[in-house]
Amino acid sequence: MSRIEIHQEKIADKAAAMAICPFGAIEQDASGALAIGAGCRMCRICVRKGGGAFEFIEDAAPGVDKSAWRGVAVVAELSPDGALHPVGLELLGKARELAAKINHPVMAVVLGARTAGAVDALLAHGADEVHVYEDPALEHFRVEPYAAALEDFISKVKPSSVLVGGTVNGRSLAPRVAARFRTGLTADCTVLDMSPSTDLDQIRPAYGGNIMAHINTPRHRPQFATVRYKIFPIPPKCEPHGSVVRHTLAPEKLLSRIEVLGRTPKTAEKGIEEAEVLVVCGRGVRRPEDIDMLRELASVLGGRLACSRAVVEAGWLDARHQIGLSGRTVKPKLIITCGVSGAIQFVAGMGGSETIVAINTDPEAPIFKVAHVALVGDLYAIVPELIASIRAKKEAQQ
């Protein structure tokens, strides 16, 4: 617990000392001594300007026995038919990398009614242990029984870190379970690393993407982090070597106040996340009708059209085309940005692309810092030439 201690003997002018605090938190008690009142914001201005009369004291917070917590666990999300969400395999690959640094096992937790296919896939991608909670009550995601199952796993196995996919379900499940263990949760991490002390280094954009926040949870376990789909690559398959551990829950733990009346699958759509080639429309496009030029470039490349946030806010394209922290995360083989400045929010959503080609008139545009090929010039001159060149090459090959 932090506090400000006042050394009364060092105060020559009480009125001047009280005036130091902009919040009026330095008060005079009945005996005439100065005291810190409830209005204190711990800004420490009094410590800096009080001439040694004020001292900031931070008591050592109780820690945790880190040796009792071992392993990096991944929550593998399943659909009702048992299909494994790809983000689970992406996180498994990252978990292997993190666990190797501290010589911890890699675990996967599977919750659902049909788990056989997911278990095989997780073992084939390097899981040391797959912990399975299989029950008809877990067919559909309902947060109460899912949270009970994950809580049961953590209580029994005590993993040091737990990685959860930043999906709709994952964003509901992770904070609920983290709260049960009174531990921290960092959402939408873009970078994860592991320190020798087993503290998980969690990095994510903050304040609208203007800074990159570096977050640790040194005094609590487990450490929770959610990560979006397409942030990390799926690891290659390996010879399965892991074990399968099956768990059961008491019937009362599987109860839920949510009743699933039915399920209507959405019409299958191929989103920009699945495209291997993307052409991105940015603020540099002057008119909505000019987007057709970029759509044509995407077409001749066999790709899809995407955009930055500015284009969505202008109403030119819908949010399904948006790349960035408030949009979709993509990792295509080729991405061509046209008139995109490259704000950190946008780059966080496409920085993992294999080849990045950027077109911008500003040679100092931030997008050029991550681009593999930088074309400084007017997109209205460059894009038509690209289209003509690609078409000519295709015709020559026919």
Residue 126, amino acid? G
Q: Does a structural domain hold residue 268?
A: no
Residues 136, 223, single domain; the answer is yes
Would residue 140 count as lying in a domain?
yes
265 lies in some domain? no
Both 354 and 280 in one domain: the answer is yes
Name the residue range of residue 35's domain. Answer: 2-58
Q: Is residue 259 part of a domain?
A: no
**Statement to judge: residues 80 and 228 lie in one domain:** yes
Confidence (pLDDT) at 61: 61
Residues 89 and 52 in one domain: no
Q: Are residues 43 and 80 in the same domain?
A: no
Q: Are residues 288 and 243 in the same domain?
A: no
Locate all alpha helices (DSSP H) within 280-332, ordered by sequence: 291-300, 309-313
Q: Quick: pLDDT tens for 263-285.
A: 888 776 778 998 999 999 999 99
Q: Which residues of the chain have pLDDT under 50?
A: none
Total number of domains constituting the chain: 3
Last residue of a domain, one of 222, 254, 286: 254
Encode pLDDT of 188-215 as tens digits.
999 999 999 999 999 988 876 677 889 9
Q: What is the pLDDT of residue 209?
A: 66
Q: Give yes or no: residues 237 and 132 share one domain.
A: yes
Question: What CATH number is attached to the domain comprising 223?
Answer: 3.40.50.620
Q: How far is CA 334 from CA 304, 318, 331, 366, in A?
A: 11, 22, 8, 19
**Predicted pLDDT at 208:** 67
Q: What is the pLDDT of residues 29-64, one digit of tens each?
A: 989 999 999 899 999 999 999 999 999 988 766 779
Q: 245 with 289, same domain?
A: no
Residues 218 and 287 reside in one and the same domain: no
